[in-house]
Structure formats: C-alpha cells, structure tokens
Structure 1
C-alpha cells in the first residue's frame, strides 16, 4: 500500500467502522462514515490531526451521525453521494461516478445503488483501498432497502472487478455471521472453511476482521458468486437462471437467516 495514505479503523456505535484517513504527503485528514463524534475526536487527538473532510458512503444515521458535530468542531467539509445530497447532513461536496482529489491522492467515487438509491464507494487506486460502506461486507453484502436487486448485483459486480489486491474497508463487523450463512450456500468451498477459522480466532481476541481484499471476497463471498454451480444448486436454481435471479435468492435467504 502507498505509505503516504494512512488508514486507521475507528469503531463506532455497536458494530460500525469509521476510517481515519491521513495523507502524510499533504497533511490532509478525513474520516469515512462517522457514526458518532466522540471516537473520531479521540482518534484525531491521539494523532494530533485536524479534520479536513468527512466522507459519507450513504445517508443512514449510523454512518452520518457524527457529521454535524465534527463539522462544527473542525470546520470540516462533508463529501457525500450526489443522488442523496438532500439526506446527507451538512454536505458540501456531492460526488457520483467521478474523480476527486483527497490531498495528493486520486479518489474515485463509484456509484453503487442498491442498499440505498444514492450509495457511493470511495476507491483510492494508488493506495489500493476501497471504502464500501454497506454495499460490500466480508462474506456478505448490505440489505437491499431502497434500490433493486438488479442495482445491487450491478454494484457488487463493479466492486468485484477492482484489482484483486485492493483492500476493502467495509461498514460493519458482520463477518462471523456472514461466514456462517455463506457456508450454508457453498459448504464445500475450502477457502471459506479456512477463513471461518481465521475469523473465529480474530473475534475471540476482540480483533477486527477488516480489511478484507477484493480477491478474497471473489473467492468465497456468495453474493459475488451467483454464477457458481454449487451456489445455484443451494438456491435450487438451474444453470439457465440469470445472475440477478440467483443473487436475489441468496439475498432473500440471508434476510431470513
């Protein structure tokens, strides 16, 4: 990873992750999806940083709850999805499917509707990092609340095509429960079986399972694998079913899990 972009995980609320970003080459600092104020302030003060930007992937309160307090405290600018600009507290810079400069780093806002109609993910190509909010989780994906199954599958497909060594920083620590479900869909996936043991050890120590990587997720995340024969058989769907149909079946199964 490009050492000039430092990334630090900041736990918020019950199981949310915000991410502190610091570009050492420019001194610019940001926070991705601050669900609350206090943990972010503590992280900033421990480093001696001033906050320049707040980056929101979507409008839900557990990702934007800290916006206004942090904006007031640091006079920071709020960056968020253009489609949802009316629902992002304090938004200054709306983005969607476009590039923007975070310090000396190119940031690509990737429009990923499905979980919400305006969701975006933030991709830093040089640093090989993507912040996926509630679109992609490790071994899982977000619920489809506002968009369609077609949109969500398209959004996940877009993320799956990023370079395989891209680190994915997701919005929640849902990995253990996601892996349990994933094993019901693809029980013979040995990469997934091995990952289950890794996740269990990390959680037993109270450690995060994040970041994951795009390559890792492509190898075992059922929501990225609707074209796989075993996944289709688990969903009782034939080889002629399209990927959206299979994806929707997996998502409905997970909703009831």
Structure 2
C-alpha cells in the first residue's frame, strides 16, 4: 500500500492509500477538488472513504466525490450519518478494504463520536493526535482525550500516524515553552522549523518518535511533573493532561 497526502484548505491533509493496481481509499476529504485532481493525475480508482468525525473540513467533499463515484462506500461514526456516510462503524468494528483489514476504535475528545482507523502500520487519527500536540476539546473532556491517547499509545512503536493538520510547528513551540531544557524537544523543534521554512511537510510521524516529543504522551514524565508541581499538585495523569490542554488553549 502506498501512502499519499493531499494538501487542502490552509493546513489540512487528506490521506490516500492506494495499491499497485491504482485502487484507493480516501480519508477525511474536506473538499473534493484536490482529491479529484489527484485521482485524475494518478489514474486511481477510489473504492472507499473513511471519515473520523463530522467537522466540515473532514467531510465537505464527500457528496461531490460520490457524485463522481456512486459506488463509493463511506465508513464513518454515527455523527457523520448526515455527512454522506453509507456504513456507520464504531469501536471494535473491522472491515476489509483493498484486501487489508481496518479496525475502528473510539477516540472521543475533539468530538464525542470521533473514531480512528488502524491498519498496520497506518493510523488515521483525524483531529485526535497531532505531532507534538492533541486536538482541541470542542465536545469532549480532557479525561476522554487522555483515554483516547492511551489507546493510541498502546499501538506498536512503528505505527505511522497520519494526522489531519499541519500543526507541528505551533505544537513544538508550545512544548519547548513548557520544557525549555529538553534536548529531544529542542532538536525536533529545530528540525520542524527547517522543514516548514522550506514549505515541507512534517507528517506522517512514527509513534516511537512521537512518544519522545509529544508532551500529551508524556504525562508520567518526571520533568513535566516537576514543572506542573511548581504551579499545582496533580496526582493523576489525566489531570496533568488537562493542565497541558488548558495551557495550550491559552498559549
């Protein structure tokens, strides 16, 4: 399977997986035009769409794509039923697409019905995890998002995380502000600044590396706990996660 990212809007990525025969699936098509252009350029034959949640910048292109390809199966959570989903999926469901099995797990936080799709090595996580950060809590709670992160963190080291937005630079700026002496954070921040200065992508990312540079995956980290304890004493990792999210909201 070949992984492709299609830029959309200001900072979205629409992910496409294709096999060597050109059959493909499309993840979170917020708009149709760049996807249709890529389909024509590569002579792809789309067979399915995966939707992680209901926000328009992830579902806005579904209707037009299905007009061009009426046989497309659209998999999504219940919250996307009015966005073009033809097959509702939920935690624990599996489906076979392009000969590969995909598993679904619930990752509430950004929205209440948010889901992720996993087919090793690829994780399509929508707006749950970003490189160096996590999604905003528009509908869910910090505790829910923490639990969602725990599910992602339980995946294999070499999981390829396909986030939906190019937010890495801002996330790493925040991370370094929290732990300014952290060597791993500073090195990754420098690398990301170089990539973005050249207008190059920072995604996808590997889970093993993300564990080193994403503070939201480091809620048991002694250095982070020390910083938090200077301000307040939080005993539980989900409380520290909430502290981080609140800090990021006001950064």
1:197 equivalent among 184, 190, 200: 190
Query: SS of 1:180's equivalent?
Result: helix
Partner of 1:101: 96
SS in structure 2 of the partner of residue 133 of structure 1: coil
Instruction: Indicate the residue corresponding to 2:203 in structure 1.
Output: 210
Separation in structure 2 between the aligned mates of residue 156 and residue 120 of structure 1, nearest angstrom: 12
What do the CA deviations read for 1:52-111 (whole angstroms, capped 9, x no partner)? 111111100000010101011111221111x32434x11111111221111111111121
Q: Are the aligned partners of 1:7 and 1:20 in contact in 2 as well (CA < 8 Å)?
A: yes
CA contact (8 A) 1:186 1:222 kept: no
Aligned pair partner of 1:68 in 30, 47, 63: 63
Q: Distance in 2 between matches of 1:115 and 1:68?
A: 23
What is the CA RMSD across the aligned residues, in angstroms?
1.3
Q: Matches of 1:155 and 1:237 in 2, distance apart?
A: 24
Shift of 1:186: 2.1
Structure 1 residue runs of 4 or more that deviate by more than 4 Å after TM superposition: none
Find the counterpart in structure 2 of residue 91 from structure 1. Answer: 85
- Could you say what secondary structure the match of 1:168 adopts? strand
- Aligned counterparts of 1:220 and 1:7: Cα–Cα separation in 2: 23
| TM-score (normalizing by structure 1) | 0.92
Give TM-score scaled by structure 2 length.
0.94
Other structure's SS at 2:39 match: helix
Gaps of 5+ in 1: none
Gaps of 5+ in 2: none
Partner of 1:159: 152
Are the structure 2 counterparts of residues 237 and 220 from structure 1 closer, same or farther at C-alpha, using a change threshold of 3 Å?
farther
TM-aligned CA deviation for residue 230 of structure 1: 1.8
Counterpart of 2:172 in 1: which secondary structure?
A: helix
* Distance in 2 separating the partners of 1:187 and 1:24: 45
- Partners of 1:162 and 1:70 in 2: how far apart? 32
Structure 2: how far apart are the matches of 1:56 and 1:121?
Answer: 9
1:34–1:40: 8 Å Cα contact kept in structure 2? yes
Does residue 1:49 correspond to 2:44, yes or no? yes
CA–CA distance in 2 between the matches of 1:123 and 1:208?
A: 22
What SS is found at the alignment partner of 2:137? coil
In structure 2, C-alpha distance between the alignment counterparts of 1:16 and 1:73, rounded to whole Å: 22
2:127 match? 134
Alpha-carbon deviation of 1:189? Answer: 2.1
| CA-to-aligned-CA distance 1:28-74 (integer Å, 9 cap, x gap) | 31110111111000111111012211111110000001010101111
Residue correspondence of structure 1 range 1-257 to structure 2 within 5 A: 5-24=1-20, 27-75=22-70, 76-81=72-77, 83-87=78-82, 89-97=83-91, 98-125=93-120, 128-235=121-228, 236-238=231-233, 241-257=235-251
